[in-house]
Amino acid sequence: MEMTELTALLTRDGLALLDEVGQITAAAEVAKTVSWLRAAGHSPDLVSAVVGQAHLRARAQAKFGEFADRMLFTRAGLEQATRLNVATLHAVRMRQAGITHVSDLGCGIGGDALAFAGAGLAVHAVDADDVTAAIAAYNLAPFGEDVTVSHGTAEEHADAAVGAVWLDPARRTAGHSETQRTAASDWSPSLDWCFDLAARVPTGIKLGPGLDRDLIPDDVEAQWVSADGSVVELVLWSGALARPGIRRAALVVRGDAMHELTGQADAEDVPVRELGAYLHEPDGAVIRARLIGDAARMLEAGMLDEQIAYLTGDAALTSPFVQSFRVRETMPAHPKTINAALRANDIGRLEIKKRGMDIDPAAFRKKLTLKGSQEATLILTRTPAGRIAILADRV
């Protein structure tokens, strides 16, 4: 979105028109809506803004739910915004640490700031892009004087920060639509600058979950977060926001439920054992946090292979930190052998998972014959004895 489009939209008539259009969920609706609005005499800038926002509001439902219908977005800002349920957990941590004011230095469209303000914190939100800062101001306007929004850089506003700081360094090229990931050396503000501020002020730093672990300072708490099965972020917490004795954490969010596994350091692995009655796949956050060993001990399980993140055991136990499967049978990982097992088990619907094998599940599926009435999961993996296929059922 360009500033001319935003200016056209931010009028009483422009916003009323956006509400009248509602959400646009299908590409076919775009041309139809553009034709309707242009025929009604609306300017090209307003039409572009309304249609773009109507489409983004539909996409934003996954992150913001019903709040999306009263928010504005840029495409890049929506992609990079924290899901509201995850942002709420950040806000809860701030409150539990006794924080009453937070400076959100790099606020984007205001996703985290919304949660902070909703939790009763005073917020100063800052963004370096003028359009994004204006959109954040619109999204945060319902909170009145408790929230201020500024156009500027994190470096310019850091000295005025009180309470705690929230940082979400720009890790992609500038722009409101198509952007590209950049190297850590090109982030804004730089990682070194963020770490320096975090050493002086209680800080939460939102980063990509694949950050090189060697870059993580020794004196912060590193918390990997997964939401509905996808690892969405790594947050480094410092000062009063870091919990005593915790340096590694895996926060697993599924719907409205939240579970966390924590440790003082990377967990010691458990021994490798033969495949048992159950196979367990640790959540991605548990793998990233290197707490697989702790999850294994909870399940009375061992490693299937020391280099593969699968656990196995005989106990009928499961946990929110893993996906569990009851093993039916094992076989060589060859399509002919697998097809025979699928026919024998009347399998017509098959989920395919793999670890440690250079196989494209979509391409492998084309080699299988699925004609039965039952369903199962096929797990292709490596063990110390070689490559195997495991036919299993989700628990």
pLDDT in tens, 132-148: 999 999 999 999 999 99
Please provide the average confidence, as pLDDT, over all residues in the chain.
94
| Res. 329 pLDDT band, cuts 50 70 90 | very high
Reported as a pLDDT band with limits 50, 70 and 90, residue 182 is low
For 384, the token pair is 């110390």
Q: Are residues 229 and 364 in the same domain?
A: no
In the chain, alpha helices (H): 3-9, 12-21, 27-39, 44-64, 75-80, 84-96, 111-118, 130-140, 154-157, 191-198, 284-288, 292-298, 335-344, 361-365
In a domain, 271, yes or no: no
203: enclosing H helix or E strand: strand 203-207
Domains contained in the chain, number: 3
Q: Is the pLDDT of residue 362 over 70?
A: yes
Do the domain assignments include residue 257?
yes
* % of the chain beyond a pLDDT of 90: 92
> Residue 195's Cα: distance from chain center in Å?
22
* Same domain flag for 211 and 112: yes
pLDDT at 26: 87
253, 89 contact by CB (below 8 A): yes
Domain end: 263, 298, 325, which one?
Answer: 263
Give the pLDDT confidence of 226-282 residue by residue, as tens digits: 999 999 999 999 999 999 999 999 999 998 899 999 999 999 999 999 999 999 999
Q: Is residue 269 domain-resident?
A: no
Distance separating alpha carbons of residues 249 and 261, to the nearest angstrom: 6
* 273: in domain: no
Q: Which domain holds residue 229?
A: 78-263
Is residue 270 a contact partner of residue 297, using CB atoms and an 8 Å limit?
yes
Q: How confident is the model at residue 285 (pLDDT cuts 50, 70, 90)?
A: very high
Q: What was the pLDDT predicted at 39? A: 94
In a domain, 302, yes or no: yes
| pLDDT score at 176 | 56
How far is Cα 185 from Cα 137, in angstroms, rounded to an integer?
30
Is 175's pLDDT higher than 60?
Answer: no
Q: Which residue has the higher pLDDT, 1 or 128?
A: 128
**Same domain, residue pair 146 and 223:** yes
